[in-house]
Amino acid sequence: MSNTILVGAQWGDEGKGKIIDVLTEVADVVVRTQGGNNAGHTVHINGQKFILHLVPSGILRKNKVCVIGNGVVVDPVSLVEELKDLSNLGIKIKGNLHLSETAHLVLPYHRELDSQRERAKGKNKIGTTKRGIGPAYADKAARTGLRVLDLIQPERFKAKLAERIRENNGILKAFGAEPLSFKKVHDQYRAAGDYLKPFVTNTVILLHAAAQRGDNILFEGAQGTFLDIDHGTYPFVTSSNTTAGGACTGSGVPPHRIDRVVGVMKAYTTRVGEGPLPSENAEIADMLHAMGREFGATTGRPRRCGWFDAVATRHARIVSGIDELAVTNLDGLDSVQTLKICTGYRDGRKRLDYIPSDVEALARCEPIYTELAGWMAPTDQATKWKELPRRARDYLHTIADLTGAKLKIVSVGPGREQTIFVE
């Protein structure tokens, strides 16, 4: 398979979990490199649904090396819960999962600050998952973060945590929030540290050895291009680099080891949380929600929905160097008579064919659409390209051409078997 970075080409929730699972079949190593338990990757296997937040989806296949890399922010308590749930389902974790010793920790004051800041922002809130992701990355950048290697050294953890709780309780007080109990946090986190210790290792060295051996490494992106801290619709973004570069810094695997970048995009557009979404459309949202689709895997929030936005996916292709595309949720459009594709934006009298950097300008943009006739037939049983209706194939070629990358995979449902490889 070669070393592959998989990224979301939209606003997250592109169906990456399913595509990662499909690509994992030929991978030896699967690595998470950024984000935290704000992510929710849903995988359906033989009718059973698994939602993974921190653990790479490779864990669901036998004998895959799964790595939580240095770029991830880890809530240890939540990770232990996830591991216990997976073990209860009969999934083998020991020996298959490796946790970076330099990954930063998410602590209760991060979650509390996340909530307090959102509350204080009022109608300007970001709509975060309230998992403490932003404050955890802020501490990392401020060099005040605690890392996994601190967590597994009891004396060191105790001293550092005491100091951090003291400072953060002062900040929480200013928000009018309850202070945290050192003892409660300490005991809960130390218990998680003991549970996680056997998994902790230097993952940079582990990945280097894998690359030297010629193992196939799959970098499992979380969130999507427009949630990237640098390239997204700032400030309505998450706090990590969700684009391809983040896979290298978040794992310690250098860029020259990367062979290809796969971009995952839905056949339409969705977003959770606040921030502009130029092709947002109430009718398509109602239709998808009525089908029971498009509710967030992490928070259960209904996702905002819109027409396919080719301006956005073209930009995603540029910033991540996307070579190949996986289009998911094609079946969601089976009953749409006339399909719209956003091919440009209008900002007043100006026509734009790129995403403006200023989020206020993006919020002003009106989409310019091209229309295509819908196929009006079910696609969820198709297993080969030729079995798709001609109009569906035309639509797929159009969105891939507008994005500027090669169409490789089409997904027509959540199951592994509902996957079409485009020759």
Residue 98 parent element (H or E): strand 97-100
Catalytic site residue from 21, 41, 104, 309: 41
- Please, what is the minimum distance in Å from the beta carbon of residue 276 to ligand IMP? 12
The DSSP secondary-structure symbol of 275 reads S
What is the spatial distance between Cα 86 and Cα 154, in angstroms, rounded to a whole number? 27
- Please, what is the minimum distance in Å from the beta carbon of residue 135 to ligand IMP? 9
Of 134, 193, 356, 413, the residue at the interface with ligand IMP (CB under 6 A) is 134
The DSSP secondary-structure symbol of 61 reads S
Give the residue with the Cβ less far from ligand IMP, 40 or 306.
Answer: 40
- Do 132 and 106 meet the contact criterion of CB atoms below 8 Å apart? yes
Structure tokens at 155: 């004396």
Q: Is 133 a residue that touches ligand IMP (CB under 6 A)?
A: yes
- Do 233 and 226 meet the contact criterion of CB atoms below 8 Å apart? yes
Of 34, 100, 128, 403, the residue at the interface with ligand IMP (CB under 6 A) is 128
Q: Pick the piece of the chain touching ligand IMP (CB under 6 A) from 32-40, 55-63, 147-155, 383-391.
A: 32-40
Of 225, 238, 243, 251, the residue at the interface with ligand IMP (CB under 6 A) is 238
Of 272, 287, 310, 342, the residue at the interface with ligand IMP (CB under 6 A) is 272
384 three-state secondary structure: coil
Q: Pick the piece of the chain touching ligand IMP (CB under 6 A) from 59-67, 126-134, 258-266, 334-342.
A: 126-134
Structure tokens at 10: 């939209």
- Please, what is the minimum distance in Å from the beta carbon of residue 274 to ligand IMP? 6
Please state the length of the chain: 423
The question of whether 13 is a catalytic residue gets the answer: yes
Give the residue with the Cβ less far from ligand IMP, 263 or 273.
Answer: 273
What is the spatial distance between Cα 230 and Cα 381, in angstroms, rounded to a whole number? 40
Of 5, 6, 12, 71, the residue at the interface with ligand IMP (CB under 6 A) is 12
Of 131, 140, 266, 315, the residue at the interface with ligand IMP (CB under 6 A) is 131
- Please, what is the minimum distance in Å from the beta carbon of residue 112 to ligand IMP? 14
The Cβ of residue 195 has, within 10 Å, a number of other Cβ atoms equal to 15
Q: Is 127 a residue that touches ligand IMP (CB under 6 A)?
A: yes
Structure tokens at 237: 């973004």
- Please, what is the minimum distance in Å from the beta carbon of residue 411 to ligand IMP? 17
The question of whether 215 is a catalytic residue gets the answer: no
Q: Is 150 a residue that touches ligand IMP (CB under 6 A)?
A: no
The residue nearest ligand IMP at its CB is 273
Give the residue with the Cβ less far from ligand IMP, 152 or 237.
Answer: 237
Give the residue with the Cβ less far from ligand IMP, 78 or 239.
Answer: 239
Residues 6 or more apart from 300 whose CB is under 8 A from it? Answer: none
- Please, what is the minimum distance in Å from the beta carbon of residue 240 to ligand IMP? 8
What is the spatial distance between Cα 88 and Cα 104, in angstroms, rounded to a whole number? 27
Give the residue with the Cβ less far from ligand IMP, 40 or 193.
Answer: 40
Burial of residue 179, with CB atoms counted within 10 A of its CB: 0-12 exposed, 13-18 middle, 19 or more buried: middle
- Do 306 and 281 meet the contact criterion of CB atoms below 8 Å apart? yes
What is the spatial distance between Cα 296 and Cα 334, in angstroms, rounded to a whole number? 21
User: Strands 338-347, 366-373: parallel, antiparallel or unpaired by DSSP?
Assistant: antiparallel
Taking CB under 6 A as the criterion, which residues in 177-236 touch ligand IMP?
Answer: 222-223, 227, 236
Residues 6 or more apart from 89 whose CB is under 8 A from it? Answer: 48, 50
What is the spatial distance between Cα 108 and Cα 132, in angstroms, rounded to a whole number? 8
- Please, what is the minimum distance in Å from the beta carbon of residue 170 to ligand IMP? 23
- List residues with catalytic annotation: 13, 41
User: Which residues here bind ligand IMP, judged by CB under 6 A?
Assistant: 12-13, 38-40, 126-129, 131, 133-134, 222-223, 227, 236, 238-239, 272-273
